[in-house]
A and B are shown apart, each in its own frame.
Chain A
Amino acid sequence: MSGYVEGVIILIGINIIAVLGVSILTGFTRLFSFGNAGFMAIGAYASAILTTKFNMPFLISLLGGMLMAALISLALGKLTLGLKGDYFLITTLGFGECTRVLIEFLDPITGGARGYAGIPQKTTLLIVLISVALAITVARNLLNSKYGRNLKAIREQEIAADAVGIDTARFKQLSFTVSAIYAGWAGALFAHYYMFITPAMFNLDKSSELTITVVIGGLGSLTGSVIATTVLTLLPEVLRSVANYRMLFYGIAVVLIITLRPNGLMGYKELSASWIKNLPIQVRRMFRCRKEVA
C-alpha cells in the first residue's frame, strides 16, 4: 500500500474517533459542545510532552493524553453541566478558546503559537485500525447498555428522565467525559502521526467541523457518523479542485439538512444486517408514501 493511501486511512481513522466522541455527546445526549477541539489539543499536547520530555512508551503517552482530557472534562463538567443548552454551549466554547490561548501563552512548555515539533512518529496504520475498532465497539456497547439508554432518555426529555429516577447530572457527566476521552485519544494519535502540532490546528473551526460531520451523518447514529467522516475526509482528497470549497459546502449542507431533513444521512438508525435486508421494503414503502401524498 502506498504511503499516501495509508496516510488517508490514518487520517480517516483519527477523525472517526474524534467524531464518535461528538456523536455520543450531541447525537445521543443532545448536549451541543464547541469544546471538543480543546480536548483534542489537550490529548495531543499531553501525549506529545510525555513522549518527548519523559521518554514514555507510546501506549503510556496515549493513555496519558486520554486521562488528561478526562480529568479536565470532569472538572469542567462539574462546573458547567448544570447550565442549560445555550449557557453550556458558550462555556464549552470559552473552554476551547481558553485552551488555545493558554497553550499559546505557556511558551516554555508547549512551544507557544509556533507549535510543538520533534514528536516521534509512532502512530501506525495498525494502531489506528485497532483504535478505531476499539472506539466503535466501546461506543456501541456503551450506547446499548443501561447507561446508553439513560443517555437517550435524557436526549428525548430531560425532565421526564429525571422524573423516572435517572441521575441526569451523573449521566451527562459520563457522556461529556467519554466524549472528551475520545477527543483526547484522537488528539494523541494525531500528534504522533503528524509529528508537529500547533494550537491553531485545534481552533473553533475544528470543533465546528466535528459537529458538522455528526449532523451530516445523522444525529443519534454511530454508523452515520462513521460513514460521514469517511466520505467527508475522502472528498477533498479525491476531488482536489473542490478542496477550497470544502467548508462552504459543509456549511450549506448543514443548514439544508437541519432545516429539511434533520435526521441526516442515517438519523437514529444503525447500519446492520437486518437493516440491509429490510432496505428494499423500506425503499418501496417510502415511494408508496410519496405516491399517496401526491
Chain B
Amino acid sequence: MFVQQLVNGVSIGGIYALMATGYALIYSLLGFSNWAHGDVAMLGAYIGFLCVAAVKMPFWLSALTALLGAGAISIMNERLAYRRIRRNNAPTMFLMIAAMGLSVTFQNMVIVFLGPKFRTYPPVIPVKSISLGSIKIGVLDMFSMIIVIIAMMLLELLITKTKFGLAIRAASSNMITASLMGINIDFYITLVFLLAGSLAGAGGVLLGLKYTVYPQMGNVSLKAFIASVFGGLGSVRGAIVGAFLIGIMEVFVSGFITSGLRDLFTFGLLIAILLIKPSGLFGIDIQDKA
C-alpha cells in the first residue's frame, strides 16, 4: 500500500513538475508569478484533445501541436500584455493583475466557445497496468513519467550547458547588466515563454489523459505554483523537487487521512513554508537562480 501510494504520488508529482518549472523560469526572469500559466496548460490540453478527437490526427502529432500551440499562446501573452507593462515601468502588481485577467479570459473563452463540459481523451494509450510484485503501475503513468524525466533532463542540460541557458541565467541575475553584455533580453524572454508554455502544454495533455479536460483544469497549476514556492521561487531544480514532494504528500493525505482535506494540507504546507523559510528549499542565494 505504502509503495503503491508513493508510485501514484510520483506520477502526479511529475505532471506538477512540468508546470512548476515553467513558473520558476518565468519568475526567475521577470520576478512575477504568471497566473495564466495553468490556463496555458489547459489550452494545450484542449488543443491536443481537439486534434485527437475532432481532427483525428495521430496522437504523437496532436501532442506536438498541443506543445507548440501552448508555447505560441504563452508567447502571445508575453508580447501582447507583459512586455507592454514592463515597458511602462509599471509596478509588478500590474503584471499579476494582467495575468489574472488573461487567466479569466482563457477560462471563459473555452466555456463560451467549447462549453463547460468535462471531456475525456479517446483511449490513445492502453488502459492497462504492469505489475511489479505487489505494485501496479499504469501504462499511462509510466508513459508520463518517461516524458517528465526526458523533459526535465533536457531542461537541465539546456540551462546548465548551452548558450541559451547561460544567457537566461545571466538575465535572471541582473537583466540590465546582461543586456549591456549584448544579450538580446526580449528575444530570450520570448524563448523562455515558449519553453515554459510548451512544458505547460505537455503537462496539460498528460493531465487530460490521466483525468479529464475541462475549462477550470488550469487551477491545478496552483499546486505547481506551491511546488515552486516550496522549492524556492525562481529555482528550477527546487521546483522539480517541490513538485514531487507535493504530489506524494497529496496522495498520502487522500489515501491515509481524507481526500476532503487534501487541499487544506497543501495550502497549510504553503503557509508553513512561507513562515519558516520563505526562500524555500533551493532559493538560498542569487547564484542558485534558474
Contacts and interface: CB of A to CB of B under 8 A. Distances in A.
Interface of A: 26, 30, 32, 79-80, 83, 85-87, 89-91, 93-95, 97-98, 101-102, 104-105, 204-205, 208, 211-212, 215, 244-245, 247-248, 250-255, 258-260, 262
Interface stretch (B52-60, B95-103, B119-127): B95-103
Q: Identify which of A79, A85, A86 gathers the most chain B CB atoms within 10 Å of its CB.
A: A86
A211 B271 CA distance: 22
A94 B105 contact: no
B92 A102 contact: no
B260 to A, nearest CB: 5
A255 B81 contact: yes
Contacts of A208: 100, 103-104
Q: Identify which of A250, A252, A255, A260 gathers the most chain B CB atoms within 10 Å of its CB.
A: A255
B7 to A, nearest CB: 26
Give the top 10 A-B pairs by smallest Cβ distance, nearest first: A251-B105, A254-B101, A251-B104, A94-B267, A248-B108, A255-B101, A247-B108, A259-B84, A258-B98, A101-B264
Contacts of A80: 271, 274
Contacts of A212: 100-101, 104
Nearest to A253: B101
8 contacts: A85-B96, A98-B267, A245-B112, A248-B112, A254-B98, A255-B80, A258-B85, A258-B97
A281 B81 CA distance: 33
A259 to B, nearest CB: 5
B271 A250 contact: no
A105 B261 CA distance: 7
Nearest to B113: A248
A30 B91 contact: yes
A252 B274 contact: no
A208 B268 CA distance: 21
A97 B260 contact: no
A91 B271 contact: yes
Interface of B: 27, 32-33, 80-81, 84-85, 88, 90-94, 96-98, 100-109, 111-112, 219, 222, 225-226, 229, 233, 260-261, 263-264, 267-268, 270-271, 274-275, 278
Nearest to A85: B92
A246 to B, nearest CB: 8
Contact of A87 (B80, B106, B263, B278): B278
Contacts of A101: 260-261, 263-264, 267
A211 B108 CA distance: 17
Nearest to B269: A94
Given A247-B108, A254-B97, A90 B33 contact: yes
A86 B260 contact: no
Contacts of A259: 80-81, 84-85, 98
Nearest to A246: B108
Contacts of A250: 101, 104
Contacts of B100: 208, 211-212, 254
A247 B74 CA distance: 21
A86 B233 contact: yes
B274 A105 contact: no
